[in-house]
Structure 1
């Protein structure tokens, strides 16, 4: 069976994890992956069981995990209890549905317009690289407070961090690229931190510094640095990849693309949400077992690392009919792409609202939008997965 594209290897996962997941769900729903030394949970119901059991499966604060190397510890994903709640208060303050509604149009629409205008006359583009990624990093960069940091830098940061998290083969060049990015993040964010100490503002960084604290108190840079890295990695890439994945799904089905072009506003949110299910931008969330726990006939030993594979759960045929197919009109059922409480993604309202605007405008303003048959559509990654090459044409 070696060499098969369904075998559980880092290379197969990075190229296309779905055949691997499909095989695991049917043959070995709880599988130990040597590459990251963790148990993969791949079926929908089992993922929900583990994700919903915070007492047994708490966040993983293990220092030998790739997250520790990339983000540092402790961060918002590794914390629990009161500390976690207090920090989340700061993060979530400006990301409630009501707050997002108040600023998302002014934040997103001008940026979307700028990037559509920059490619419109060309009649073709890689929509991920030339449109969805830049929109995402610019908007989220501005929300974080990185208004002066150029897009190219922000894109490099999340690519370097995402590669670091998936560096199963321990490639030295990938660690070097990561360390360079982290040094630059610390330098720029450290400067912004100092500025917010002098004068708090409405940036996400400022909210994380002061939110949930007693009056007159502020979190130290050391305390929030790992969490800011989590926000930079998840925030910069997730809305862009989610929109690109949804767009790829739409363009792969000429019927759905046509409906989307005729009624973009009515269908954008539906399409965006199905894109999140079809290809989860963040495919895995780590946990650690606090005691022995039996699931799907396998005992996970106390202290073991566990990966809840949302990317696999979202393709489980027992939950979603014809699960490998993109269908924005499928019966609405909750997917797992935003994770589980209490660690449910803080940015889910913002991501959805941005994605809805971007998708609707792209289909409204680029007539006869379609895949470019002369170039290949490509996706990559498994912890983070996106359609990296989305070659499209339209009538300019």
Structure 2
């Protein structure tokens, strides 16, 4: 056990958490991560146990967690009970499968095609930074109400918030996070004022008004912690999910060819497997309201617990050959969207954006393949993605 705990360091996790998680699942499936003071739960079955026991392992409202410092409190991830359910009414208003199916084509496909057109004739690009991230932030940015904010700024915002979460003791990372927080607040304030008096179809408007009694609205200070959660998770997940899936596909030319031949039929399966293989959001926090024994280890009352979604998705007892991206893997639910009642509100929108992005990329970029002369870079553990995905195609 000591060897596995020795490997559990922030540096190892940030570089590549998956070998660390594999050792923990084998040797110490419930382990205290000393650097953050949280108990890591790494096996599929144990993550399920914690995830469904919401009364016993509720959302963490600790002001000491990095999420509290970056997002502010209370936010949608820290709430429970009627207060959480009321807020989720506003967030979820326009995110059901039925609602998404009604607007996704006109929202997403023109944006996807515009960014593909901007790189198609070059025959080479970093598919993360020049295609999938811009697609993701533009679509979600417009959906939230950031229609006047440019792509570069939106991208910098989510990277900066991410840096504050993953490297809270790095002065440069925290300074960038603070700048992003202040800029987001400055942009959001007039948007909130506008939609308070004149509601529209943006997500911000739904958060201000949704679930509230007649004549009541949520104010700026009340919604901003939750809006920061949405900005970070929403802006980055569809883009990194698509990049992760594309990297998995391009590592195996036969799988890439299969998607090229049938993009409409296989793109959703590819995106979902990418979410399992590299979970964009790797950890979800909980708080132990009572002492609880799990996998032979006692988690103390009041302890901070991390459900390691990324590890659950690679658990060998759940997924055969779990470390490989497998396009035709038998369908099984993965853990990347978390557990109810905190199951990700935007899961269907994310999956729909990812499907369209993969469909169009593999349809429009002939003989798409990894660039042999440039390095693919992946990093992170609370949030992880293929940060640089250099590729070439026949222009």
Give the structure-1-normalised TM-score: 0.98
1:199 Cα deviation after fit:
1.1
Shift of 1:324: 0.1
Structure 1 distance, partners of 2:315, 2:347, is 22
Matched with 2:121 is: 121
Whether 1:24 aligns to 2:21 is no
Q: Verify the 8 A CA contact 2:337 2:347 in the aligned structure 1.
A: yes
User: For the aligned residues, what is the CA RMSD?
Assistant: 1.4
Residues 36-185 of structure 1: matches in 2 within 5 Å?
Answer: 36-167=36-167, 170-185=169-184
Mapped partners of 1:294, 1:5: distance in 2: 19
Map residues 1-396 of structure 1 onto 2, 5 A cutoff.
7-167=7-167, 170-396=169-395
- Per-residue deviation, residues 287-346 of structure 1 (Å, max 9, x unmatched): 000000000010000000000000000000010000000001011111100000000000
1:263, distance to aligned residue in structure 2 (A): 0.8
CA distance in 1, matches of 2:131, 2:5: 31
Distance (Å, rounded) in 1 between the aligned partners of 2:4 and 2:82: 46
Q: Contact (CA 8 Å) 1:6, 1:12: kept in 2 or not? A: no
The separation in 1 between residues aligned to 2:242 and 2:179, in whole angstroms, is: 28
**3-state SS of 1:395 partner:** coil
Unaligned runs of 5+ in 2: none
Residues 231-279 of structure 1, C-alpha deviations (whole Å, 9 max, x = no match): 0000000000001100110001111001111111110000000000000
CA distance in 2, matches of 1:125, 1:174: 27
Question: Residues of 2 paired with 1:334 and 1:32: CA distance?
Answer: 27
5+ residue gaps, structure 1:
none
Instruction: Choose 183-192 or 1-10, whichever is displaced more.
Output: 1-10
User: What is the aligned residue count?
Assistant: 395
How far residue 198 of structure 1 moved from its aligned partner, in angstroms, is 2.4
| CA distances 1:79-136 after superposition (whole Å, capped 9, x unpaired) | 0000000000000000010110011100101110110000000100100000000000
SS at match of 2:386: strand
2:96 and 2:276 map into 1 onto residues whose CA distance is: 22
Q: Deviations over 1:151-183 (max 9, x none)?
A: 111111100111111115x11111111110000
Residues 76 and 87 of structure 2 are in contact (CA less than 8 Å); yes or no, is this contact kept in structure 1? yes
CA displacement, residues 20-46 of structure 1 (integer Å, 9 cap, x when unaligned) = 101111011011111211000000000
Distance 1:375 1:175 in 2: 30
Q: Deviations over 1:365-390 (max 9, x none)?
A: 00000011111111010000000111
Asked if 2 retains the 8 angstrom alpha-carbon contact of 1:5 and 1:12, the reply is: no
CA shift digits 1:46-82 (9 cap, x unpaired): 0000011001100000000000100000000000000
The answer to whether the 8 A contact 1:196-1:206 is kept is: yes
Tell me, in whole angstroms, the C-alpha distance in 1 between the residues paired with 2:227 and 2:71.
8
Instruction: Give, in angstroms, the shift of residue 195 of structure 1.
Output: 1.1
**Residues 24 and 31 in structure 1, CA contact (< 8 A), matched pair in contact too:** yes
- 8 Å contact from structure 2 (residues 283, 307) kept in 1: yes
**Runs (4+) off by over 6 Å:** 1-6
* Partner Cα distance (1:116, 1:385) in 2: 24
